[in-house]
Amino acid sequence: MLTELDVNSDMGEIDTADACATEIEMMPLLSSVNIACGGHAGTVESMRRTARLAARHAVAIGAHPGFPDRATFGRSSSDVSGDAVTRLIVEQVTTLSVAIAADGLSLTHVKLHGALYNQAATQPHIARAVVHGLLTLSEGVSLYALAGCALVAAARSANIQVVEEMFADRAYRGDGSLVPRSVAGALLLDEEAVRAQVRSLIAGAVTSLDGTSVPVQAESLCIHSDTPGAIGLARVVRSELDAAGIRVVAPSRGTRGR
């Protein structure tokens, strides 16, 4: 029975007034945030702005690296080498770390973005490259990864702290992976659908798009800031967690290989 759960969101990805307003409204509802760090999106200015907002609300700050493909927002699969992935991780995480250090802020975690997230979850050589990149960094950050995926096992075998993640606003396949965004129904946009999914997830399972019940055990719940109606959906998430007596809190640090 869950008593605590992290609520995270990906931010710093869209540099418009509306996106900034959404982040301002959502941030108090979160316990951790993943900030785009110059690959699929993000500038040094947006990194600092989002990190400062997170700090004002005592929200844990993480890096959100992705393939450097702004044309498709880092959501196109890539036939990329392991070495390239390792370099990508080190360069982007370091960029964000340096950008926010001027404000006395530091990173607690890394969460991959888009196609990189999905490929690392299923492709062993990508998972190993991500792990190598994290071990190269000096921050000692934890790694957010899709609950039960290959990246979880790869990180734990390297004694990296892992935070397994589930999604309030994304549909699942029967194997526990996420339905690709190109497929109809991949995004949950209706508040009642999100409410039902949150209730199911905190009970330990999710109903896949094909009707299969998939067991899910996770420490963090994601609600995307770029999902249409994100503010209302985030409020639904918090309402359901509050009603269930679940305290929203960032994952504790220091337990390696968890």
| Model confidence pLDDT, tens digit, residues 204-227 | 999 999 999 999 999 999 999 999
Rounded CA separation 179/196 (Å):
17
Scanning 137-255, the segments in alpha helix (DSSP H) are 150-157, 191-202, 230-243
Q: In the prediction, which pLDDT does 254 show?
A: 59
HSE, CB side, 13 Å, CA atoms: give it for residue 118.
17
φ, ψ for residue 206 (rounded to 5)? -140, 145
The amino acid sitting at 58 is A
Count of CB atoms within 10 A of residue 102's CB? 9
Place of tokens 């927002």: 73
> Which residues does residue 32 pair with via DSSP β-bridges, in sequence order?
8, 60
- Per-residue burial over 216-254, b if 16 or more Cβ lie within 10 Å, else e, is bebbbbbbbbebeebbebbebbbebbeeeebebebbeee
| Closest-CA residue to 188 (of 200, 180, 197) | 197
Q: In the prediction, which pLDDT does 257 show?
A: 43
Rounded CA separation 60/45 (Å):
19
Q: In the prediction, which pLDDT does 150 show?
A: 95
- Coil, helix or strand at residue 98: helix
Residue 79: Cβ-neighbour burial (10 angstroms; 0-12, 13-18, 19+): exposed
Residues in contact with 235: Cβ distance below 8 Å, sequence separation at least 6, in sequence order: 29
Rounded CA separation 235/39 (Å):
29
Low-confidence stretches of the chain (pLDDT beneath 70) = 139, 254-258
Place of tokens 């700050």: 61
pTM: 0.95
Question: What are the strands, taking DSSP E only, across the chain?
Answer: 4-11, 32-36, 60-64, 109-111, 142-146, 162-167, 205-207, 213-215, 220-222, 247-248
Q: In the prediction, which pLDDT does 72 show?
A: 82
Place of tokens 């290989």: 257
φ, ψ for residue 230 (rounded to 5)? -55, -40
Q: In the prediction, which pLDDT does 258 show?
A: 39
